[in-house]
Structure 1
Amino acid sequence: MMASEADCRPLGVFECQLCALTAPYSYVGQKPPNTQSVVLLEESYIMKDPFTSDKGRFLVLGARCSVCSKLVCVGPECSLFYSRRFCLPCVQENIGDFPQEIQRDMATRTAASKRPSSQP
């Protein structure tokens, strides 16, 4: 087996505990393999970017919520990063502890999610 095949072999399957997104991950941590100077700000679940042959390219799937420890994807409907990863239910429970900018962003997200799916 070639080394590149070993690099791509999944360690497991990431599953978001909010939206049930699943994807195979190949690394968990802050320093993705085959990158020289990339250090992520949180311990993340990573997969090799399937859309390129560049070994240094990767996708961040998600991380654990720093409050409740749920595994959540980086999708805007599931989590946000503000110095640490927070799942949206924990953000909503503690919204007063976040800066005004985050509170406004959450109000916008909530309004957008209440629109009928037929509207853009």
Structure 2
Amino acid sequence: MDSGEGAVRGVFTCELCELSSPYTFYGQKPPNTRGIVLLEECYGMRDPFSPEKEKFLVLGSKCCLCNKIVCVGTECSLFYTKRFCLPCVREHLHQFPEQIQTELAKKKPTQKS
């Protein structure tokens, strides 16, 4: 009996795009799910668009290199065995597979003023 089930634990904010949303769990095991273990410790919430309480959304995680909190948006981070923020991916691009290097080359670098 978990009275905190679905309770807001804090506010997730991406350090790159500033996407902000309340989160209800942090970790690799979303509540109300059986047999689901995520590949990373992440911030998440119950899917507000689904009536099924076992549905959830992953908001983001920490970059495994610099520890910035980043959303899962393709302009902010990349998951390749671990979560990487795009600035770290660009800095260490030569260490990623050619396919990822090619995909990233197609994107324009985002300039933050």
Q: Any idea what SS the aligned residue of 1:63 has?
A: strand
CA deviation profile, 1:40-86 (whole Å, cap 9, x unmatched): 00001011100012110000000000000000000000000000000
Counterparts of 2:15 and 2:67 in 1: how far apart (Å)? Answer: 10
> Structure 1, unaligned stretches of length 5 or more?
114-120
**1:15-54 to 2 correspondence within 5 Å?**
15-54=13-52
1:108 to 92, 102, 106: 106
**Post-superposition, which runs of at least 4 consecutive aligned residues in structure 1 deviate over 6 A?**
none
**1:57-76 to 2 correspondence within 5 Å?**
57-76=55-74
Greater fraction of residues in helix: 1
If the length of structure 1 is used for normalisation, what is the TM-score?
Answer: 0.86
Q: Any idea what SS the aligned residue of 1:40 has?
A: coil
> Structure 2, unaligned stretches of length 5 or more?
none
Give the CA RMSD over aligned residues.
1.9
If the length of structure 2 is used for normalisation, what is the TM-score?
Answer: 0.91
Aligned residue pairs: how many?
111
Task: Flag the structure with larger Rg.
Answer: 1
> Offset at 1:9?
1.5
Q: Percent identity?
A: 53
